[in-house]
Amino acid sequence: MPELPEVETMVRDLRARLPGRSIVETNVHWDRMVGHPSPEGFKAGLHGRRLEAIERRGKFALLALDGGGVLGVHRGMTGSLFLRPAGFEADRFVRAWFRLDDGDELRFDDSRKFGRLYLYESVRNGSQPPWERLGVEPLSEEFTALALFELLAGRRAAIKTVLLNQLVVAGIGNIYADEALFAAGIRPTRPAGSLRKREVGRLRDAVSSVLAGAIARRGTTFSTYRDVDGEAGGNQSRLMVFHRHG
């Protein structure tokens, strides 16, 4: 999927354009795209809601709604949110779309249907949003070498596997795990708990710089990733190892 940098790019673009606008119509063409609540409850719950703020947690985009609700978006492998003006040409794999009060359409386009949309209200009974279980944000101040060292301590799974575990560190996927490990000079199959403090320090720095660099270049377009206007990212030319041979 789009990993942290691709979600962050989308969130920043949407943040500049969505707040203050309201959803006046919700359409879902693939019911299983709705992770919570029911498709009917999802559509009814979003009707007339104003978008107030856009944040990111791991690989989730969180669109805060008036009244305290949150529209959560996970892009899966191939999901994109496109913000299109009224009457704009059709996008090929739109699974759900929202009409805004000025006529623009926010379209969730996802060929492989692994993406998910969630609506959670501030008052909940029972189920918690999936983004509340995520691990540390790798671009936050809490992501220190010491914190990472403690997260890895005692783990016998391969370091790459652990980096991909969203409950440990949130937002890293296949591309950036490979790139960060290469930049840090650490073999991906090493047991996570076997890394020395120096190595963990290098890894922390590599994760930060690889992610920040990719955000600066608006993400990596390996095949299908597109931004909210349908444009490709610019980081693919910087990849050192992902999908490269030799």
Site string for DNA, 25-54 (x = CB under 7 A): -------x----------------------
How many residues touch DNA (CB under 7 A)? Answer: 38
CB nearer to DNA: give 76 or 213.
Answer: 76
Site string for DNA, 211-230 (x = CB under 7 A): --------xxxxxxx-----
Question: What distance in Å separates the CA atoms of residue 223 and residue 233, rounded to the nearest whole number?
Answer: 10
Tokens of 206: 């590599």
Check binding of 125 to DNA (CB under 7 A): no
Check binding of 190 to DNA (CB under 7 A): no
CB nearer to DNA: give 25 or 30.
Answer: 30
Question: Nearest approach, Cβ of 5 to DNA (angstroms)?
Answer: 8
Check binding of 237 to DNA (CB under 7 A): no
Tokens of 222: 């390996």
Q: Do 163 and 169 form a contact (C-beta atoms < 8 A)?
A: yes
Tokens of 196: 């020395």
- Residue 191 designated active-site: no
The single residue among 74, 107, 204, 218 that binds DNA, judged by CB under 7 A, is: 74
Check binding of 62 to DNA (CB under 7 A): no
Check binding of 173 to DNA (CB under 7 A): yes
Question: Nearest approach, Cβ of 231 to DNA (angstroms)?
Answer: 12
Report strand pairing: 70-74 vs 116-120: antiparallel
Q: What is the DSSP string of the chain?
A: ---HHHHHHHHHHHHHH-TT-BEEEEEESSGGGEEES-HHHHHHHHTTPBEEEEEEETTEEEEEEGGG-EEEEE-TTTEEEEEE-TTPPPPTTEEEEEEETTS-EEEEEETT---EEEEE-SS-SSPPPGGGG--B-TTSTT--HHHHHHHHTT--SBHHHHHH-TTTBSS--HHHHHHHHHHHT--TTSBGGG--HHHHHHHHHHHHHHHHHHHHTT---SSS---TTS---S-GGG-SSTT---
Check binding of 161 to DNA (CB under 7 A): yes
The single residue among 174, 205, 217, 234 that binds DNA, judged by CB under 7 A, is: 174
- Residue 39 designated active-site: no
Question: Nearest approach, Cβ of 18 to DNA (angstroms)?
Answer: 21
The single residue among 132, 156, 198, 246 that binds DNA, judged by CB under 7 A, is: 156
Query: Which residues make up the interface to DNA (CB under 7 A)?
Result: 1-3, 6, 32, 58-59, 74, 76-77, 93, 111-114, 130, 154-158, 161, 164, 166, 173-175, 192-193, 219-225, 233, 243
> Which residues participate in catalysis according to the annotation?
2-3
